[in-house]
Structure 1
Amino acid sequence: MEFFKSIFLLTTLSSLLSSFSIQAHNVAPSSAPTTSPNTQISFTATTPLLRPKPIATELIPSLPNLPQVATMLSLNIPTLDLSIIDNNIETICSGTDYFTECLLGIIPHFNDFAKEGINPSSVLKMEMATLCDKATETVKEVTTMREHSSTSLVVSGILDTCVENYESLLEDLKDAVRALEIHDLGRLESLVSATLQDIVTCSDSFHERPGVRSPLADGDDLLKKMCSNILAISSSIKFY
């Protein structure tokens, strides 16, 4: 009798285990979270498109103006790659007054000069090339703005002055590049100071006309900061 009870218990237990296994097998896996195509890119270390190194992971939260500066430098924010930022770049840019502008200023021409190694000289070349790009773009914008039918005669006249100053700025930048190539840091700093004055002259032309707001204010501000950074970086270069 005890034998048949044991057989009955074993059969029941086996049936229960089999039923549990079937139910577990049929449970549908939970759906993976989906991301709406309209979700904005968040500048955090977990954003896969950024693929930052650890140093970038620490920096991103401290750069609240990064999206604005990136846009003004015509950098594509969703695909912005900060993986090139390392300790050397952070150290160099920490010596400038405009940290975010310095970091982003290296990106457009990083591959052009990184082969020289990451040092103040190569970073300076990256920054100067980006400044030249932005100034060239500004000249085109100002020329178009000046000739637009909606631009008043007063503003158009001021923009004439700005075009002249930006063209002078571009020439000064070309000379500054040559000065860097021959290690003439004194002339380099003098020329970059002249480019800064070119921008200030354009800005002042608007300030001198009460009630006239400069359509170039934001762009001028960025160019001034880039010039300031270039001067700061150049002061840290030592040629032997």
Structure 2
Amino acid sequence: MSTTAASVALVPSSFEAQFFNFSQLQKDQTFSILSIDVDPKLQKLCGETDYPIECLTSTIPFLDENVAINPCLFSNKTKETLDKAFELSVNPPPSRLFLSCLETCIDNYNSILESKKKILDAIPVGDANQVSMELSFNMENVFACEDTFKEAEIESSITELNSLLVKIITNNIIISVDMINF
């Protein structure tokens, strides 16, 4: 059985250039990471998600010996996306319709951030349904943001961030519900 591999160069803010080598995996294999020392548990965890590259790039920059992986790592990317939406709303002043779309997105991003507490409260009591429901709701908030722009027939300036946010949230659903033993 042969596998194919792709290399990706990434430059997270707190790391020097890193080269990740992802092989198309068989069910019982993990992917390998070159040039940095990453916990094999994280490699296995990210290897089992729908978006392993996004899993690593959204997790590694925030991990140190005191940080545990949890389903709220999406909040960092949400804050970044929220900051971008605020920036777009004031500089330069957008059209009234564009601003209305951004306001919808800002409200939705704030809802995502507010759900973090509910997720963190559900984890210690083993409420996988609550975690899954909150994360799914968060994804719907991102989709609603994009839909607002589509309905207004305006090109969204935050589509790429929203796409990454959906991938991160999708990974969090898999990590929290399918992989964590509640």
Give the TM-score, by structure 1 length. 0.61
Aligned to 1:78: 16
Q: Does the 8 Å contact 2:15/2:61 carry over to 1?
A: no
Distance 1:207 1:75, change over 3 A: same
Aligned to 1:215: 157
Counterpart pick for 2:110 among 167, 182, 188: 167
When you count strand as a share of all residues, which structure comes out higher?
2
Asked which structure has the greater RCO (Cα within 8 Å, sep 6+), the reply is 2
Whole-Å Cα distance in 1 between the matches of residues 162 and 148 of structure 2?
12
Unaligned runs of 5+ in 1: 1-60, 115-121
Unaligned runs of 5+ in 2: 20-34
Aligned to 2:100: 157
Larger radius of gyration: 1
Q: Does the 8 Å contact 1:128/1:173 carry over to 2?
A: yes
Aligned to 1:87: 40
Whole-Å Cα distance in 2 between the matches of residues 94 and 140 of structure 1?
30
Counterpart pick for 1:110 among 63, 66, 73: 63
Shift of 1:79: 5.4
Identity of aligned residues (%): 24
Counterpart pick for 1:231 among 165, 173, 180: 173
Shift of 1:159: 0.3
Shift of 1:146: 1.0
When you count helix as a share of all residues, which structure comes out higher?
1
Matched, 1:62 2:6: yes
Whole-Å Cα distance in 2 between the matches of residues 62 and 219 of structure 1?
23
Aligned length: 162
Counterpart of 1:217 in structure 2: which amino acid? T
Whole-Å Cα distance in 1 between the matches of residues 131 and 65 of structure 2?
20
Counterpart pick for 2:79 among 136, 139, 144: 136
Of residues 182-191 and 75-84 in structure 1, the stretch that sits farther from structure 2 once superposed is: 75-84
Shift of 1:195: 0.7
Whole-Å Cα distance in 1 between the matches of residues 42 and 116 of structure 2?
22
Q: Does the 8 Å contact 1:85/1:103 carry over to 2?
A: no
Aligned to 2:129: 186
Show structure 1 runs of 4+ deviating over 4 A.
79-82
Shift of 1:140: 2.1
Shift of 1:84: 3.7
TM-superposition CA deviations, 1:72-117 (whole Å, max 9, x none): xx52453559634243222211211101011122213321555xxx
Q: Does the 8 Å contact 2:81/2:162 carry over to 1?
A: no
Aligned to 1:197: 140
